[in-house]
Chains A and B, each alone.
Chain A
Amino acid sequence: MGRRPRQGPPRPPAAPADIQLASDPQPDLEHEQTVEAAAYYDVDLTNRLAERVEFFQCRFKKATLAGSHLAKVRFTDCLVETSDLSNLRAEKGTLERVKLSDCRMTGLAWSDGLISDATFTDCKIDLTNWRFARFDVVTFEDCNLSGADFTDADLRGASFTGCDLSGAQFHNAKMAGTRFRTCELEGVGGIANWEGAIVHPDDLLGLSYVLAGALGIVVRETDR
């Protein structure tokens, strides 16, 4: 018997008792570094290479991690706003009790990672790689996830509301309990794996056309 995803909304990040601004506007990151209660406002962390970095109760605003390679990075109880995580590589990374809003994450790679109690709001998450990742109580709201790759991901604890999922791939994904509401689903791949997914009635017709198209079925009216 498989894991049963926890129900309910994601738990919010715990607020730090105190928080310090990152002293250096271009700080370095070291392997296995632990950063606690730091505020990264207008900070440039592009193209960093570090493994097993851990951020606890940190705040990111107008920060950039673009192009960095942070394998096994861990964000716990963090807020990430208006930041740039595009092309960040974070294989086997962890997001736990994290809120991300208005972020640019194009090309992000979070393969084989864990995303738990996370919310993504108004984020650009297109062409991202979530292969083999596990989503445990995660919500995506009003996000652009076009071309995202969820191959072999465990999405049983994920919900998508108002998202653009056009061209997203779901091959071999676990979908029992995954929720979709008012999403753009054109060109979605691996739709035969959607067994057990929960679809809003408003989305059903659109989804059925997508499915028909994916199967090569011709939809035509009766008198033609």
Chain B
Amino acid sequence: MSPSSDTGRPAAARRRLVEHDWFEGANVGLEFADAQFVNADLTEAVAERCVFINCEFVGVRFNCARLTDVRFSSCRFAGCNFFDAVLTGSDLTECSFDRCSFTGTEIIGGNWQSTGLAGAELGTVEFRKVGMQQANLTGARCQGGVFVEVDFANAALAGADFTGADLRGSVLTAFDPRTVELDRAVITSDQAVDIALCLNMSVR
């Protein structure tokens, strides 16, 4: 992985294109760095303990895929489809998602720290016990989604819409009720205190 001279970010042009049939059958312990996957069909793919670093996924179909303990680091997803995919204990740190579909996606455990989901449609996603610290959810549409025991600490949430979302057990210290829509969202009593404190009240 070679950083470009001006931005410090990995140079996408140097990524090597990976043939899309690599994922047939169960894939365990595969590692990819600086790779590019274009229009690959990974429908119903099963992967465990694979590692993707600085990879790019364009138009990839993860439909009904089962990813367990898979690690994506600094990866970019564009126009990908995660329909009904299940990600268990998988990390997607410092990744970015652009025009991706998450219909029925289930995410259990794992770390999505600093991942970019600005404007993402997450209304039918289930996130459970996921670390989303410093994630960018600006303008994300999360109406009716399930975000149970998710750590949103220091996440960017301005303009996000959590109408009717289940937020029980999640860390809500970054939720400013003046900029995040929370109508009919479900929380617990201790989380109500977190929301109140988001108004910068002093307690003494």
B200 and A215 contact, CB distance less than 8 A:
no
Nearest Cβ on chain A to B188's Cβ, whole angstroms: 6
Asked if A195 and B199 make an inter-chain contact with CB atoms under 8 angstroms apart, the answer reads yes
Instruction: Chain A residues near B193: list those with CB within 8 A.
Output: 204-205, 208
Q: A211-B177, A211-B192, A212-B192 are in contact. Are A204 and B185 (CB under 8 A)?
A: no
Q: In the complex, are the beta carbons of B196 and A208 less than 8 A apart?
A: yes
**In-complex Cβ contact of A218 among B184, B195, B199, B204 (8 A):** B184
Q: Chain B contacts of A198 at CB under 8 A?
A: 201-204
- Does A41 reach chain B (CB closer than 8 Å)? no
Residues of A within 8 A of B199 (CB): 191-192, 194-195, 197, 211
Contact A216 B189 (CB under 8 A): no
> B residues 163-204 with Cβ under 8 Å of A?
168-169, 177-178, 182-189, 191-193, 195-196, 199-204
Interface pair B202/A221, CB less than 8 Å apart: no
Mark contacts of B33-72 with chain A using CB atoms, 8 A cut-off: 1 yes-contact digit, 0 otherwise: 0000000000000000000000000000000000000000
Q: Which of B168, B189, B196, B204 has the most A CB atoms < 10 Å from its CB?
A: B196
Min Cβ gap A149→B in Å is 21
A196 lies within 8 A of chain B by Cβ:
yes
Quick check: B177 and A215 within 8 Å, CB to CB? Answer: yes
Verify A196–B200 contact, CB threshold 8 A: yes
Chain A proximity of B151: nearest CB distance (Å): 16
Interface residues on A, range: 20 to 34
Interchain CB contact under 8 A, A207 and B196 = yes
- Chain B residues lying within 8 Å of A207, measured Cβ to Cβ, are 196, 201
**Could you tell me if A215 and B182 are in contact, using CB atoms closer than 8 angstroms?**
yes
Q: Is A217 an interface residue (CB 8 A)?
A: yes
Total interface residues on B, using CB and 8 Å? 23
Question: B185: nearest residue on chain A (CB-CB)?
Answer: A217
**Smallest CB separation, A222 vs chain B (Å):** 5
Chain B, interface SS category:
loop
CB-based contact B189/A221 at 8 Å:
yes
In Å, the complex CA distance between A207 and B18 comes to 56
B182 touches A201 (CB 8 A): no
Is there contact, CB below 8 Å, between A208 and B168?
no
**Could you tell me the distance between the alpha carbons of A219 and B167 in the complex, rounded to whole angstroms?**
10
Complex CA–CA separation, A198 to B201 (angstroms): 6
User: Is A3 positioned at the interface, with any CB of B under 8 Å from its CB?
Assistant: no
Which residues of chain A are near B184, meaning CB under 8 Å? 216-218
B-contact bits for A52-91, CB 8 A (1 contact / 0 none)? 0000000000000000000000000000000000000000
What's the Cα separation between A219 and B185 when bound, in Å? Answer: 8
A89 CA / B127 CA spacing, docked (Å):
56
By a CB distance below 8 angstroms, the chain B residues around A196 are 200-202
Kindly state whether residue A22 has any CB partner on chain B within 8 Å. Answer: no
Determine whether the beta carbon of B188 is less than 8 Å from that of A221. yes
Give the complex CA separation of A204 and B196 in angstroms.
8
Give Cα A208 to B190, complex, Å.
Answer: 9
B200 (CB) vs chain A CBs: closest residue: A195
Known: A216-B184, A217-B182. A199 touches B192 (CB 8 A): no
Complex interface bits, A96-127 against B, C-beta within 8 A gives 1, otherwise 0: 00000000000000000000000000000000
A residues engaging B (CB < 8 A)? 191-192, 194-201, 204-205, 207-209, 211-212, 215-222
Residues of B within 8 A of A (CB): 168-169, 177-178, 182-189, 191-193, 195-196, 199-204
Selected A-B contacts with CB under 8 Å, 24 pairs = A192-B177, A195-B201, A196-B201, A197-B199, A198-B201, A198-B202, A199-B196, A199-B201, A205-B192, A205-B193, A207-B196, A208-B189, A208-B193, A208-B196, A211-B192, A212-B187, A212-B192, A215-B182, A216-B183, A216-B185, A217-B183, A219-B187, A219-B189, A219-B191
* Beyond A195-B199, A217-B184, 6 extra complex contacts between A and B, CB < 8 Å: A192-B178, A192-B199, A195-B200, A208-B196, A219-B191, A221-B189
